[in-house]
A = this chain, B = another copy of it.
């Protein structure tokens, strides 16, 4: 919807741009009247709804409700406390829902973990430089020093944290020290190390991984070799949130590419690499724009 004349004038006075937008994610048990309550609450604060997506997983008999609303509000920062109070009152108390409200002008901060395969990492860095990824890349961490120079040429800090064998506790402690209060989520861009449950818990932020297969096919290591062995005609990639169950976390995005008997396992890896970087960049974009809602082991993706 449009910025009304009144708001446009105020916007010009306060120096705030026309894109002062926020996202509001609401989820919980479905009930009649939620959409109206959200719209009314936003309306009372002069917010203009720019985009709205809604999903009910069982509209006819209860089930769960999910809504993503993007709205513009010229004096967003000033209005936030009152808006929070209202949403607490209307959504939390009345409907028993949960919500998150985020100023979209503040990009999420991300740490990218990488290893030797750099195609996913470079694709993220390049898209970020092109202005295609609304995130702030706080740092790149790798267990190999190879890409240090390239990463820094993008103006991004690089930290080399070696893996040092099966006991990952020392490396993970170093990771946690670097991440502490610095990032809003982590992306594993073909970081080939398994994270401990302790690390996942202590990091305290969402972690997105790219798995180089169409999950749940070929869980675990060496999926392209397994795909060649099984003789599949498509290979794929899966971006998912990391949980303690390896390769079992909620799937955000997947895609595939056609292969033939003539492709070797190395060819599958090469073709798959293109899918990996495409799938991961979509997942990161959607997470950055609050388009992904986790629900149990599923995601609702308002893309």
Give residues in A with beta carbon < 8 Å to B: 1-4, 7, 18-19, 30-36, 39-40, 42-43, 46-63, 65, 72, 119, 122, 126, 130, 132, 153, 214-218, 230-234, 236, 250-256, 260-262, 270, 274, 278, 297-301
Question: Would you give 19 A-B contacts (Cβ < 8 Å), ordered by A?
Answer: A1-B59, A1-B65, A2-B30, A2-B59, A3-B61, A4-B32, A33-B43, A34-B49, A35-B39, A51-B54, A51-B56, A51-B59, A52-B52, A119-B126, A216-B217, A231-B250, A231-B298, A232-B251, A260-B301
A216, A231, A270, most chain B CB atoms within 10 A: A231
Contact A36 B42 (CB under 8 A): yes
A274 — which chain B residues lie within 8 A by C-beta?
278
Min CB distance, A18 to chain B, in Å?
Answer: 5
A301 — which chain B residues lie within 8 A by C-beta?
233, 260-261
Contact B55 A262 (CB under 8 A): yes
7 more CB-based (< 8 A) A-B contacts, given A32-B49, A40-B40 = A2-B59, A18-B61, A34-B49, A36-B39, A51-B56, A216-B232, A261-B298
Min CB distance, A61 to chain B, in Å?
Answer: 6
Contact of A35 among B52, B119, B297, B300 (CB under 8 A): B52
Complex CA gap A130/B62 in Å reads 28
Contact B231 A256 (CB under 8 A): no
Contact of A1 among B18, B32, B232, B260 (CB under 8 A): B32
A278 — which chain B residues lie within 8 A by C-beta?
274
Contact A18 B256 (CB under 8 A): no
> Contacts A49-B35, A60-B19 hold; do A261 and B55 have CB atoms under 8 A apart?
yes
Complex CA gap A219/B122 in Å reads 32
Complex CA gap A60/B104 in Å reads 15
Contact B251 A230 (CB under 8 A): yes
Contact A215 B217 (CB under 8 A): yes
Complex CA gap A51/B20 in Å reads 27
> Contacts A30-B2, A32-B2, A216-B218 hold; do A60 and B72 have CB atoms under 8 A apart?
yes
Complex CA gap A261/B56 in Å reads 10
Complex CA gap A300/B231 in Å reads 9
Contact B55 A54 (CB under 8 A): no
A61 — which chain B residues lie within 8 A by C-beta?
2-3, 18
Min CB distance, A216 to chain B, in Å?
Answer: 5
Complex CA gap A49/B42 in Å reads 18
Contact B122 A126 (CB under 8 A): yes
**10 interchain residue pairs of minimum CB distance:** A36-B39, A231-B298, A217-B217, A50-B59, A36-B43, A32-B48, A233-B254, A261-B300, A52-B54, A1-B30
